Amino acid sequence: MSNWPGKFVIGLTGNIATGKSVVRRMFEHLGAYSIDADALAHRTYSKGAPGYQQVIDKFGKWLINKDGEIDRSKLGNLVFSDPEAMAQLEEIVHPLVRQASEILLKRASQPVVIIEAIKLLESDLRKMCDSIWVTNAPQEVQIERLIRKRNYTRERALERINMQSAQSTKVALANIVITNTGSYDDLWKQVSAAWNEVVPNANDISETQTFKRPVTPTGELFTKRGKPKNSTSIAEFITRLSKGKRRVTAENIMEDFGDKAYMLLQMDGKLVGLASWQVENLVTCTTDIYLEENLDQQKALETLVKAVESASGELQSEASLIFTNNEIMALEEFWKKLGYERQTPETLGVQAWKDAASESLFIGSTLLFKQLRQERVLRPI
C-alpha cells in the first residue's frame, strides 16, 4: 500500500558519481515525475526563501555575496569540513526540502514519482517512499568520473568520496540496486527491467510517454517525445542537418538520454525537426533546434516549442529558457508572439533561473526567456 493514494514513490540514492541523476532522467523517459531533492536544498536558502535568514543567523553574514545571495561555495567549504556545521545546516534545510517535495508530489499528475537525494536514507524523505533504489559503482569508476567531469584531482576525488557514508550501507538497505559501470545502454536495460518488475502498471505508464500519431492530412506536423530506440535516427538527422559540424553516433545520443530529452517533429512519417531539452531544478533549457530547410520555419518552431512547453508543464517547470543562434533569433517578433523575450542570465531575478542560464549559455547564443508558472516552490517570503 502506497503512502500516497494513487501514486507509487521511489526513493533514489547513491554516493557521488554513481549515476543517480542519469537514472532519474531515465525514469522520466519511462513516464515518471522526478524530484531532485538536492537541487531543492539549494533553493531553500536562496534570497528571500524560507531558509535564507535561518542560514545567515546560524553561520553569519560573511556568507552573503554582492548580489545578496548566500555564496554556496563558501557555505560548502564550511560544512564539508565541519560535521557539526553540516548537521546544523541539515536541521534547517531538510524540513524545507520535505515540505517542497510534498507539494511537488501532490501536484504531479504522473502515478510514479522519483525522489533523488544524496541523503535520502538519513532524512525524513525516506518515509515518503514506497521503494528504495540505489545506484552503485566501483570506486575507481567514481574517481574517473570526478576527474573527467569535474576536473578533480585524484586526491580531491577520494576526499569527496570518503566524506560520504559508506556506499555498502546504502546498498544493504536498497530494494533495487542499479550497477552503473559506464555503459548507458546497459544502464538503460537495467532501469527498464527493474521498472517493469517493480512499478505497478509499468507498461501502461510508459505508453503514455509515446504519443500515438494522430490521423492527420498529408503535410501536417505532429510531435512525439523521442525514446532511446530512436537514437540512430536522431544521430543521423543531427549529423545531416549540421552539415557535418556535429558528427554524432547512436551511442552519443544514448548518452544524451541520460542528461536530456528529445522532442521529435514529424511529417508524413518522416523526421523533419527536433529540439533537445531538459527540465532541471524546475527550469526548462532548450539548447538545440534542428529543422529541415523546406519547412515553414515559424510554424515548425511554434509546433516544437509548444510541445516542449507542454511536456515541461507536466514536469512542473517554472520557466523556459531557449538558447538560440542568430538565424533563429532573427525571428524576434515571432518569439515575442510566443511570449519569449531576450534576456541575460543576470536579469532573470530568480537564482535557480540565473544558474540554469549561466550553465547552458554558450558562445554566440542568445537567451530567450518565458515564465511558465506564477506559483513557485519555495518562493520568496
Q: Is residue 166 situated within a structural domain? A: yes
Same domain, 292 and 177: no
176 in the same domain as 35: yes
> Are both 234 and 87 inside the same structural domain?
no
Whole-number pLDDT of residue 377? 84
At residue 6, does pLDDT exceed 80?
yes
Q: Of 178, 205, 232, which one is at a domain's C-terminal end?
A: 205
> In this structure, are 234 and 360 located in the same domain?
yes
> Which CATH number covers residue 191?
3.40.50.300
pLDDT of 54 strictly over 80: yes
Q: 205, 240, 269: which is the final residue of a domain?
A: 205
Q: Worst-scoring range by mean pLDDT, 201-215, 262-276, 295-309?
A: 201-215
Q: What is the pLDDT of residues 240-259, one digit of tens each?
A: 999 888 999 999 999 999 99
**What CATH code is carried by the domain that includes residue 288?**
3.40.630.30
Residues 180 and 44 in one domain: yes
What is the predicted pLDDT for the residue at 379?
A: 67
45 falls within a domain = yes
Please state whether beta strands 270-280 and 366-371 pair in parallel, antiparallel, or not at all (unpaired).
unpaired
**Confidence (pLDDT) at 157:** 94
In a domain, 19, yes or no: yes
| 281: its cell numbers | 531544478
183 shares its domain with 234: no
Per-residue exposure over 10-37, b if at least 16 CB sit within 10 Å of its own CB, e if not: bbbbbbbbbbbbbbbbbbbbbbbbbbbb
Task: Write down the pLDDT at residue 2.
Answer: 66
Q: Domain for residue 157, yes or no?
A: yes
Q: How many domains does the chain have?
A: 2
Range of the domain at 330: 212-371
Task: Give percent above pLDDT 70 in the chain.
Answer: 95
Claim: this prediction has a pTM higher than 0.75: yes
**How many whole angstroms separate alpha carbon 15 and alpha carbon 13?**
7
What is residue 144's predicted lDDT score, i.e. its pLDDT?
95
Query: Is the Cβ–Cβ distance between 80 and 163 less than 8 Å?
Result: yes
Report pLDDT for 327: 74
Is the residue at 2 inside a domain?
no
Q: Is 93 strand, coil or helix?
A: helix
Mean per-residue pLDDT for 170-199? 93
pLDDT in tens, 24-53: 999 999 999 999 999 999 999 999 899 999
Tens of pLDDT, residue by residue over 99-143, are: 999 999 999 999 999 999 999 999 999 999 999 999 999 999 999
Residue 378 lies in a domain: no
User: pLDDT-based confidence at 342, cuts 50/70/90?
Assistant: very high
- Domain's final residue, options 151, 186, 205: 205
Do 200 and 341 lie in one domain? The reply is: no
3-state SS assignment for residue 297:
helix
pLDDT at 349: 86
What pLDDT is attached to residue 227?
A: 92
